[in-house]
Amino acid sequence: MRKGLVCSLAFLLVVFSLAVGGVWAKPLPWEVTADSLVHLKEPESILAEGNVILNRPKESSPDPMIVRADWVRYDVELGVIRARGNVYVLSGQDEIAADLADLDLNSKTGTFYNSTIFMADTHMFITGDEVVKTGDFTYDLKNGT
Protein backbone atom coordinates (compact mmCIF):
# COMPACT_ATOMS: atom_id res chain seq x y z
CA MET A 1 0.00 0.00 0.00
CA ARG A 2 1.29 3.49 -0.80
CA LYS A 3 2.55 5.73 1.93
CA GLY A 4 0.06 8.25 3.11
CA LEU A 5 -3.10 8.34 5.02
CA VAL A 6 -5.81 5.84 4.25
CA CYS A 7 -9.11 7.54 4.93
CA SER A 8 -12.19 5.74 6.10
CA LEU A 9 -15.62 6.86 4.96
CA ALA A 10 -17.06 5.90 8.32
CA PHE A 11 -14.83 8.51 9.94
CA LEU A 12 -15.69 11.08 7.27
CA LEU A 13 -19.40 10.45 7.72
CA VAL A 14 -19.14 11.37 11.38
CA VAL A 15 -17.17 14.51 10.57
CA PHE A 16 -19.55 15.60 7.79
CA SER A 17 -22.62 14.85 9.90
CA LEU A 18 -21.31 17.06 12.68
CA ALA A 19 -20.19 19.78 10.28
CA VAL A 20 -23.26 20.07 8.06
CA GLY A 21 -26.01 18.92 10.38
CA GLY A 22 -27.32 15.69 8.97
CA VAL A 23 -26.37 15.58 5.31
CA TRP A 24 -26.79 11.83 5.62
CA ALA A 25 -29.84 11.03 7.71
CA LYS A 26 -29.07 7.31 7.73
CA PRO A 27 -25.76 5.46 7.65
CA LEU A 28 -24.49 4.23 4.30
CA PRO A 29 -24.55 0.48 3.73
CA TRP A 30 -21.11 0.74 2.12
CA GLU A 31 -17.72 1.25 3.72
CA VAL A 32 -15.24 3.12 1.52
CA THR A 33 -11.48 3.34 1.98
CA ALA A 34 -8.92 4.94 -0.32
CA ASP A 35 -5.71 6.92 -0.33
CA SER A 36 -7.79 10.03 -1.06
CA LEU A 37 -11.51 10.74 -0.48
CA VAL A 38 -13.39 13.87 -1.54
CA HIS A 39 -17.00 14.63 -0.57
CA LEU A 40 -19.15 16.49 -3.13
CA LYS A 41 -22.52 18.02 -2.26
CA GLU A 42 -24.14 18.40 -5.71
CA PRO A 43 -24.84 15.63 -6.48
CA GLU A 44 -24.21 13.95 -3.13
CA SER A 45 -21.19 11.83 -4.02
CA ILE A 46 -17.78 10.57 -2.98
CA LEU A 47 -14.68 10.64 -5.19
CA ALA A 48 -12.13 8.04 -4.12
CA GLU A 49 -8.68 7.59 -5.60
CA GLY A 50 -5.83 5.18 -4.95
CA ASN A 51 -6.34 1.69 -3.56
CA VAL A 52 -10.11 2.16 -3.44
CA ILE A 53 -12.17 -0.49 -1.66
CA LEU A 54 -15.96 -0.38 -1.37
CA ASN A 55 -17.27 -3.01 1.00
CA ARG A 56 -20.87 -3.93 1.76
CA PRO A 57 -20.47 -5.98 4.94
CA LYS A 58 -22.73 -8.86 5.94
CA GLU A 59 -24.18 -6.71 8.73
CA SER A 60 -25.76 -4.27 6.26
CA SER A 61 -26.94 -6.78 3.64
CA PRO A 62 -27.41 -10.52 3.28
CA ASP A 63 -25.39 -10.22 0.05
CA PRO A 64 -21.88 -8.98 0.90
CA MET A 65 -19.96 -7.40 -1.97
CA ILE A 66 -16.51 -5.88 -2.49
CA VAL A 67 -15.44 -3.49 -5.24
CA ARG A 68 -11.77 -2.56 -5.72
CA ALA A 69 -10.38 -0.06 -8.23
CA ASP A 70 -7.83 2.67 -8.76
CA TRP A 71 -10.56 5.36 -8.93
CA VAL A 72 -14.27 5.42 -8.00
CA ARG A 73 -17.06 7.98 -8.11
CA TYR A 74 -19.92 6.91 -5.80
CA ASP A 75 -23.25 8.75 -6.25
CA VAL A 76 -24.73 8.31 -2.79
CA GLU A 77 -28.28 9.38 -3.71
CA LEU A 78 -28.60 7.11 -6.76
CA GLY A 79 -26.52 4.25 -5.37
CA VAL A 80 -24.37 4.02 -8.51
CA ILE A 81 -20.64 3.98 -9.05
CA ARG A 82 -18.20 4.41 -11.89
CA ALA A 83 -14.97 2.53 -11.26
CA ARG A 84 -11.87 2.58 -13.42
CA GLY A 85 -8.44 1.06 -13.37
CA ASN A 86 -7.87 -2.51 -12.17
CA VAL A 87 -11.54 -2.97 -11.31
CA TYR A 88 -12.28 -6.11 -9.29
CA VAL A 89 -15.72 -7.09 -7.98
CA LEU A 90 -16.45 -9.98 -5.62
CA SER A 91 -20.17 -10.64 -5.33
CA GLY A 92 -20.99 -13.79 -3.44
CA GLN A 93 -18.52 -16.23 -4.98
CA ASP A 94 -18.55 -14.64 -8.44
CA GLU A 95 -15.53 -12.55 -9.48
CA ILE A 96 -15.28 -9.83 -12.11
CA ALA A 97 -12.14 -8.12 -13.40
CA ALA A 98 -12.45 -5.13 -15.75
CA ASP A 99 -10.79 -1.94 -16.95
CA LEU A 100 -13.93 0.15 -16.35
CA ALA A 101 -17.31 -0.48 -14.74
CA ASP A 102 -20.60 1.34 -14.24
CA LEU A 103 -22.56 -0.34 -11.43
CA ASP A 104 -25.96 0.09 -9.84
CA LEU A 105 -25.30 -1.03 -6.28
CA ASN A 106 -29.00 -1.33 -5.46
CA SER A 107 -30.04 -3.60 -8.34
CA LYS A 108 -26.62 -5.33 -8.55
CA THR A 109 -26.51 -4.69 -12.30
CA GLY A 110 -23.98 -2.88 -14.41
CA THR A 111 -21.71 -2.70 -17.41
CA PHE A 112 -18.12 -3.93 -17.44
CA TYR A 113 -15.62 -3.01 -20.14
CA ASN A 114 -12.74 -5.26 -21.22
CA SER A 115 -13.78 -7.72 -18.58
CA THR A 116 -13.53 -11.31 -17.43
CA ILE A 117 -16.21 -12.79 -15.20
CA PHE A 118 -15.90 -16.03 -13.26
CA MET A 119 -19.21 -17.56 -12.16
CA ALA A 120 -18.37 -19.93 -9.31
CA ASP A 121 -21.57 -22.02 -9.35
CA THR A 122 -21.05 -23.13 -12.96
CA HIS A 123 -17.24 -22.74 -13.06
CA MET A 124 -17.69 -20.67 -16.21
CA PHE A 125 -15.62 -17.76 -17.49
CA ILE A 126 -17.13 -14.97 -19.60
CA THR A 127 -14.96 -12.41 -21.37
CA GLY A 128 -16.01 -9.48 -23.48
CA ASP A 129 -15.31 -5.99 -24.68
CA GLU A 130 -18.57 -5.02 -23.00
CA VAL A 131 -20.46 -7.25 -20.58
CA VAL A 132 -23.79 -6.04 -19.21
CA LYS A 133 -25.05 -7.71 -16.04
CA THR A 134 -28.83 -7.53 -16.38
CA GLY A 135 -29.84 -9.75 -13.46
CA ASP A 136 -28.54 -12.17 -10.86
CA PHE A 137 -27.43 -14.73 -13.45
CA THR A 138 -28.00 -12.99 -16.79
CA TYR A 139 -25.50 -11.14 -18.97
CA ASP A 140 -25.45 -9.53 -22.42
CA LEU A 141 -22.14 -9.69 -24.29
CA LYS A 142 -20.54 -7.56 -27.00
CA ASN A 143 -17.55 -9.20 -28.65
CA GLY A 144 -17.55 -11.85 -25.96
CA THR A 145 -16.90 -15.52 -25.40
- For the chain, the domain total comes to 1
Confidence at residue 20, expressed as pLDDT on a 0 to 100 scale: 40
Q: Using pLDDT thresholds of 50, 70 and 90, give the confidence band for residue 29.
A: confident
Domain region containing 96? 7-144
Please check whether residue 138 lies inside any domain of the structure: yes
Confidence at residue 137, expressed as pLDDT on a 0 to 100 scale: 76
Task: Please give the mean pLDDT across all residues of the chain.
Answer: 82
Q: What is the pTM of this model?
A: 0.77
Confidence at residue 70, expressed as pLDDT on a 0 to 100 scale: 99
Cβ density class 22-35: b for 16+ within 10 Å, e for less: eeeeeebebbbbbb
pLDDT tens readout for residues 50-77: 999 999 877 767 777 899 999 999 998 8
d(CA 115, CA 123): 16
Please check whether residue 1 lies inside any domain of the structure: no
pLDDT tens readout for residues 1-23: 443 444 444 434 433 433 343 44
